[in-house]
Amino acid sequence: MKKRVGILISGRGSNMMALVAAARAADYPAEIAAVISSAPDAAGLAWAQARGLPARAIDHRAYPTREAFDWAVDAALTDAGVELVALAGFMRIQSVGFVARWEGRQLNIHPSLLPLFKGLHPHRQALDAGVKVSGCTVHFLTADTDSGPIVAQAAVPVLDGDTPESLAARVLAAEHRLYPYALALVASGRARVEGGRVRIDAVGHPDGCLLSPQP
């Protein structure tokens, strides 16, 4: 049985689009059961609705507290039979209760190689630090920001002359490949949390490495 996935967005939803594209494959272990946007005017919401996906807005501005909004989202996810949640540019800080409710069942993607460069402006942080490799991380969400157990990571080179915008574009392309792969690992049961870390059943382990700058 395919796992039923709910995707939470707030904006253009490019990672949502990557997950939707992956889920179209017959052998993909997850299906998109719900798309929920915290912003009624989000471009990603319009994209999902135009393609007949079960997509709706839950406007955070209509709720007096963070908790009230979160429980409205929780109710919508539950009604849709969602088993796993994937955050895809969801720009709301979740309440402790909501995070606890979905612990071990909620994924996020962050545009850095965690635990480096948590929080806002990770690409500027990477450039300021002078790293030669950056990337993105899919992790389980916990109450500590950008700190949950790591499922998968993808690396990209940092080039001379990079700006936060150029690095962000390179990392985003990697995100679109990594997120569907990581979700498949979790949905298939090949990736699971044990002892605070993610254990993954046999996958390929290539011997090569990424060198940056290239020799």
Active-site residue flag, 123 = no
pLDDT of residue 207: 60
**Phi, psi angles (nearest 5°) of residue 76:** -65, -40
Catalytic residue selected from 110, 123, 139, 176? 110
- For 124-147, give the DSSP string: HHHHHHT-SEEEEEEEE--SSTT-
CATH architecture, domain 3-191: 3-Layer(aba) Sandwich (3.40)
Q: Is the peptide bond before 164 cis (omega within 30 degrees of 0)?
A: no
**What tens digit of pLDDT does each residue of 16-52 get?**
999 999 999 999 999 999 999 999 999 999 999 999 9
pLDDT of residue 211: 73
What is the average pLDDT value for the chain, to the nearest integer? 95
Domain ranges in the chain are 3-191
pLDDT of residue 205: 57
pLDDT above 70 covers a percentage of the chain that reads 95
Residues facing residue 32 across a β-bridge: 5
Buried residues in 127-144 as b, exposed as e (16+ CB within 10 A): beeebeebbbbbbbbbee
Give pLDDT < 50 ranges for the chain: none
pLDDT of residue 166: 98
- Sign of the alpha-carbon torsion through 137, 140, 141, 142: negative
Instruction: Report CA-CA distances (Å) from 199 to 17, 58, 92, 135.
Output: 27, 34, 29, 21
Instruction: Report CA-CA distances (Å) from 166 to 92, 124, 171.
Output: 25, 11, 9
